[in-house]
Chains A and B, each alone.
Chain A
Amino acid sequence: MKFPNPHDVKTIPGTEGWERMYPYQYQFVTDDPERKEYEEQSFWFYDGLHYPEPIYPFDTIWDEAWYLALSQYNNRIFQVPPVRGVDHRIINGYVYISPVAVKDPEEIGRRVPNFMERAGYYYKNWDELEAKWKIKMEATIKEVEQLHIPRLPDLEELSVVTDAIGESKGYQLIKAYDDLINLGIKCWQYHFEFLNLGYAAYVFFLDFVQKLFPSIPQQRVTQMIAGIDVIIFRADDELKKLAKQAIELGLDQAIDFTREWTAIEASLKAHPKGQEWLAALEVSRYPWFYVSSGTGWSHADKSWNDDLNIPMSGIATYIDKIKQGVNIERPLEKIRAERDRIIEEYRSLITSDDDRKTFDDLLTTAKTVFPYVENHLFYVEHWFHSVFWNKIREVAVIMQEHGLINAIDDIFLLRRDEIKQGLWDVVTAWATGVKPRGSKVWPPEIEWRKGVMEKFRAWSAPPAIGTAPEVIQEPFTIVLWGVTNSSLTDWSEIQDISDPDSITELKGFAGSPGIVEGKARVCRSADEIRELQEGEILVAPTTSPSWAPAFAKIKACVTDVGGIMSHAAIVCREYGMPAVVGTGHATKIIKTGMMLHVDGSSGRITIQR
């Protein structure tokens, strides 16, 4: 495979100087011959799964966080034998990553015993260590929730004097910001403690099964580890619980749950049983409503707790279903029985006892790691991130008050070290009683960056650059590239067609088996799922646990982004409805009302024009 040379990629006219929006080490360079050569000889691919859009300067925090975390675990903690870390670059706002191979076979040999001992320890004590992880993680989240972002008063409270505090709100603001950032980084340290080992177990279970059964669809392999209780469904379960309770309390008669949340809340407060239900809602909300409407990686992703209209529409749907006598529970027993049948049948087709032994051992390991691979997302990307983004917005309020930014979300156009710099400007000016210099520096810079982001969005990022190696050995990259590459190939086929209205077939990953026909409903964000009608086919950029209410109404799901382990695929498998995921362009090509034929077994969607 031939890809462009990283140093030949052109800067988009009008964005000259964009590099200052990101950390300097993210640039491809030509002034350092050694680095230049390394960059040319490495294989860089666009991480479109995590960054479907160009990255905002502040959002680079998570990229740096995982740049550090994944690489340190691979290279300095567990010593994955053939690979060091994963290197990162940004071109025109898009993130490219590259696994760094260990080239010397002797060095690889020296790393093997370390990995066996260290990773082996984690695999062996997985459940116990995972329980410890949960405690660490919950403590970190608690810290961020309790972190107070102080405002800067004209005059400090008297207690500062009488309690002899010895610190001002200015110092505390700087410290709170540092603490907030550090908590975020720490959270990502934990994020990768288990993840890559989890991926490795999954990848090589898949690899082994595919060697035994070359024609097995990947979907079947994931089905073998499905039906285990994972948090991904918890938010949805809470909605069902609240719907049942609303009926038990007779609230369904008095209150129309399909209205805006403010109206529902007012009615509930007026109803004698309303308080009881509101109390139950509070219990469900924290933390289960911290489900993000996106991947959680972008500041633009909102959680249910930010917009209660989304869960309310879900509750309304469930109330309706229960009253119609529909069973709203996931057919968990059925899924488990089917899972066990599939495992047993494949197992019985294995001809040698040796192979069966390896199969059993790899399956057990994959089943052990699977809950973490799923559940960490709720703790980190959903719960922690949702709280974190709002804390940053609290910081933004102060910057806005002092004129450094015009709108709250403008803060995300600044790098996190620029924010720190800006806060120093604010607190010193506040302490001194002068106007911060930043009020004239940042607003024009932010305006310019907005223009740059616009131009970035219109640019189409090449799937990969640099020199492709024969094989990749880094588990995270295998998973990510597996998803990214084949989808990019299919996507580029479609991009070649100049007239999108002429496209009648789309391809994606076979996310969940089955074939259905029905009307499409394109929902670009979670708040649009309220428009879904019973029996429609949901077409969405991607889904997340906050989209849960949608799955109670639809009969199939189609997404732009995501692999067979993505949220939409997992949920559809559990509900037994077809899904085609990672189509690249479905939301651009399909329009609401079109008749679709969705084949979740082959990954094909036919548009009946």
Chain B
Amino acid sequence: MNNSAAVLDTIPVSDRNRASSHSGGLPVVCWFEECHKDSVPLVGGKCSSLGELINAGVRVPPGFALTTEGYRHFMAESGLQQEIKSLLAGLDAQDMDALEQVSASIRTAIENQPFSTEMEDLVAEFYRKLSVRCCLPAVPVAVRSSATAEDLPGASFAGQQDTYLWIRGAEEVLHHMRSCISSLYTGRAIAYRANQGYHDEQMALSVGVQKMANSFTAGVMFSIHPANGDRSVIVIDSNYGFGESVVSGEVTPDNFIVNKVTMDIIERTISQKEIYYTVDQKSQKSIAIEVPFERQKVQSLLDDEITELAWMAKQIEKHYGRPMDIEWAVDKDLPFGGNIFILQARPETVWSQKQKTADVKSGVSAMDYIVSGMLQGKKLS
């Protein structure tokens, strides 16, 4: 997997210069692979974690980010900041109607405000390079906001409607970047900030642009058993199409348990999978479709893919030093060997924070354990 750079060409050095040529040395646009875990202030949590994964040798769909620096330039250059300030002046945060009205005005203003020519050129150039790297004329991408601090209210409200899928063309990308930014000004977000006494100047947003994984199969996996906390296994849930059907719980996915130490598949449960998500060619939206009956009870992942995924999960866990919760996809456009992608990875929280089970006597000698084990006995089953 380390040499999975088939899709991820090295980044042309010139991009870095041009991208950061704006002022002050910070880039306004950058590739994911230029990000790492300390890049949160610049590209937000989502993009920095993708960069971190790429640098750990994990295959992630390629993409780039409009940085917080870019966001600030956009807000400052366009004079938007002033306009927003005056619109918000004297607003009563309790007055819902007024709030919604102001929100609509601000969002329209943002969405109608073009980027500077220089920034437009930069984004278009990055998008073009991304398309070239993906060997597609105009690569479909996901555009989503990447918040700098999850506890910042504006950011968490923005997080509700900030993902736009199957976007094609530089114009569309720019448009949806603005949509992401404007989502900082929903009525609820404005009210929340007003109530908490946050200033808009404290906010910063990054927007990630990432190749859509055209997944044949997708799902989630845990590098710990989610039901019993066993750290020696990797548990994979999978279904055909996009991961939505698995994440939302709309289908009972196939389930595989892989031994983390020996990497063999120790358990497999093939379920009847009635629906899957795919892209509707006309609307370019993802839609649920019935799985053809003859495929419903067929294993949705090849054994080799299961092993490869488990291997990736093991590497990711090793990199982060803790059990992880991972979203993945098998791309249908690419051949086996380079077709498995990690879409997201975050620390597993349920078991990792839990105290170990009470009935394990530990810290005792073998002799003590044997005696207490005998006294307890083994259940007859």
Contact = CB atoms under 8 A, between A and B. Distances in A.
A71 B189 CA distance: 75
Interface stretch (A211-219, A252-260, A275-283, A393-401): A211-219
A473 interface: yes
B232 A213 contact: yes
A1 B359 CA distance: 25
B374 interface: yes
Interface stretch (B179-187, B294-302, B364-372): B364-372
Contact of B377 (A353, A364, A472): A472
A472 B373 CA distance: 11
Contacts of A115: 371
A172 to B, nearest CB: 47
B360 A215 contact: no
Given A207-B373, A358-B361, A358-B362, A470 B380 contact: yes
A107 to B, nearest CB: 12
Contact of A471 (B264, B265, B359, B376): B376
Contact of B225 (A215, A217, A342, A471): A215
A123 B233 contact: no
A552 interface: no
Interface string B174-206: 000000000000000000000000000000000
Contacts of A217: 259, 266
Interface string A512-533: 0100000000000000000000
Nearest to A1: B380
B380 A471 contact: yes
A601 B370 contact: no
Nearest to B359: A211
Contacts of B376: 471, 473
Contacts of B367: 116, 119-120, 123
A119 B365 CA distance: 14
A214 B225 contact: yes
A354 B357 contact: no
A358 B230 contact: no
Contact of B261 (A80, A123, A211, A346): A346
Contacts of A353: 363
A345 B260 CA distance: 9
Contact of A478 (B261, B375, B378): B378
Contacts of B380: 1, 43, 468-472, 481, 485
A212 B229 CA distance: 9
Contacts of B381: 485
B3 interface: no
Contacts of A361: 365-366, 369
Contacts of B374: 80-83, 200, 204, 473, 475
B117 interface: no
A116 B380 CA distance: 25
A211 B361 CA distance: 10
Given A214-B225, A602-B266, A362 B366 contact: yes
Please indicate which of the listed interface residues B225, B264, B376, B381 has the most CB atoms of chain A within 10 Å of its own CB: B264
A314 to B, nearest CB: 31
A158 interface: no
A470 B267 CA distance: 28
Interface in B142-188: none
Nearest to B357: A211
Contact of A342 (B257, B261, B360, B369): B261
A208 interface: yes
Given A200-B370, A352-B356, A468-B380, A108 B375 contact: yes
Given A214-B230, A217-B259, A342-B262, A354 B377 contact: no
Contacts of B364: 358
A299 to B, nearest CB: 33
Contacts of A470: 377, 379-380
A601 B257 contact: no
Please indicate which of the listed interface residues B365, B366, B381 has the most CB atoms of chain A within 10 Å of its own CB: B366
Interface in A185-224: 200-201, 203-205, 207-208, 211-217, 220
A471 B381 CA distance: 9
A349 interface: yes
Contact of B363 (A116, A349, A358, A472): A358
Contact of B231 (A116, A207, A351, A478): A351
Nearest to A123: B367
A505 interface: no
A181 interface: no
Contact of B373 (A204, A345, A513): A204
A606 interface: no
A361 B368 CA distance: 10
B232 A81 contact: no
B369 A204 contact: yes
A29 B267 CA distance: 46
Contact of A349 (B260, B264, B266): B260
A178 interface: no
Interface in A574-609: 601-602
Nearest to A479: B378
Nearest to B261: A345
B86 interface: no
B228 interface: yes
A355 interface: yes
Interface string A468-499: 11111101001001100100000000000000
Nearest to A514: B264
Nearest to B228: A214
B366 A123 contact: yes
12 contacts: A123-B366, A203-B373, A215-B259, A216-B230, A341-B261, A352-B362, A358-B363, A365-B370, A468-B380, A472-B378, A482-B378, A601-B265
A-B pairs with the 3 shortest C-beta distances? A471-B377, A354-B363, A473-B377
Interface of B: 225, 228, 230-233, 257, 259-262, 264-267, 356-357, 359-367, 369-371, 373-381
Interface of A: 1, 43, 80-83, 108, 112, 115-116, 119-120, 123, 200-201, 203-205, 207-208, 211-217, 220, 341-342, 345-346, 349, 351-355, 357-358, 361-362, 364-365, 468-473, 475, 478, 481-482, 485, 513, 601-602
Given A220-B261, A485-B380, 19 more contacts: A81-B371, A119-B367, A208-B360, A208-B373, A213-B233, A215-B233, A349-B231, A349-B232, A349-B261, A355-B363, A358-B364, A361-B369, A365-B366, A471-B380, A472-B380, A473-B377, A475-B374, A513-B264, A602-B266
